[in-house]
């Protein structure tokens, strides 16, 4: 945690002892009453939190905003449903990297049990997003959506302005992600562990996606996701 995440509605309320932030402030940072910690707020501000009181019951803070956090990066990621435990790590990492939108999609080869898990049905995403925001020191959280088919997701996938649509696929005959020209907004699609089917690849072509690869090695979903987003961010000069 590089920055304490505060929600607007929680400002002025003490952090209770059971809250993981209490444990971090007292056990990891070893802070005391009168100290300050780096903080950020869900309104998009970055600042300092002053510890007014610290007791066994909780921590009373005064938050002082100092600046506004940079906006999220212009990337929308379409991602085949991964295992819920993987999804949590992916959400954290993508929030840290600053991805603007994350759309989970039930693909032809997705395990339907993943999509039907409580994690996705209850949209239990927030704690992972906040953890990624605390790591980045930026409180802006991506928009996360779920779709029960690629067809449905692509129906809503229209973006105004100059964009680049890319579908990643393991095929040495395809251009490499490093070679494609990129517009100011990138729409990136990454399949489930078993990749995209021929039907889905045809659907991407129909919807104006460029198909490319990141080489001849088959990567785990979370590895491919972080690697691809990092390449795009570097090429857009955000890294």
Q: Which residue has the higher pLDDT, 170 or 40?
A: 40
Rounded average pLDDT over 11-30: 92
**Residue whose C-alpha is closest to residue 116's, from 84, 76, 77:** 84
* Location of structure tokens 């600053």: 98
Identify the structural domains of the chain with CATH numbers, from first to last.
Answer: 4-68 (2.40.240.20), 73-235 (3.40.1280.10)
Q: In this predicted model, what pLDDT tens digit does every residue of 174-220 receive, in sequence order?
A: 889 998 889 899 999 999 887 899 999 999 999 999 999 888 888 88
Alpha carbons 139 and 114: distance in angstroms, whole number: 28
> Residue 36 forms beta bridges with which residues?
50
Least confident range from 62-76, 98-112, 163-177: namely 163-177
The alpha carbon of residue 219 and the mean position of all alpha carbons in its chain are separated, in whole angstroms, by 19
């Amino acid at each position: 945690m590089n920055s304490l995440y505060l929600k607007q509605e929680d400002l002025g309320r003490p952090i209770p002892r059971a809250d993981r932030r209490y444990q971090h402030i007292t056990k990891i940072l070893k802070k005391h009453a009168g100290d300050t910690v780096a903080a950020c707020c869900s309104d998009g501000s970055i600042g300092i939190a002053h510890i007014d009181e610290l007791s066994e019951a909780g921590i009373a803070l005064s938050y002082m905003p100092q600046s506004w956090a940079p906006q999220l990066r212009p990337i929308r990621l379409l991602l085949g449903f991964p295992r819920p435990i993987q999804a949590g790590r992916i959400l954290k990492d993508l929030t840290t990297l600053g991805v603007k939108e994350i759309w989970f999609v039930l693909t032809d080869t997705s395990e339907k049990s993943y999509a039907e898990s409580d994690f996705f049905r209850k949209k239990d995403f927030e704690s992972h997003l906040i953890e990624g925001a605390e790591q980045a020191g930026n409180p802006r959280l991506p928009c996360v959506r779920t779709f029960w088919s690629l067809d449905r997701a692509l129906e809503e996938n229209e973006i105004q302005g100059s964009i680049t649509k890319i579908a990643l696929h393991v095929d040495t005959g395809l251009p490499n992600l490093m070679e494609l020209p990129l517009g100011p907004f990138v729409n990136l699609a990454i399949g489930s562990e078993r990749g995209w089917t021929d039907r889905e690849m045809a659907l991407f072509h129909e919807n104006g996606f460029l198909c490319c690869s990141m080489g001849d090695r088959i990567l785990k979903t979370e590895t491919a996701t972080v690697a691809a987003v990092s390449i795009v961010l570097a090429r857009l000069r955000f890294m």
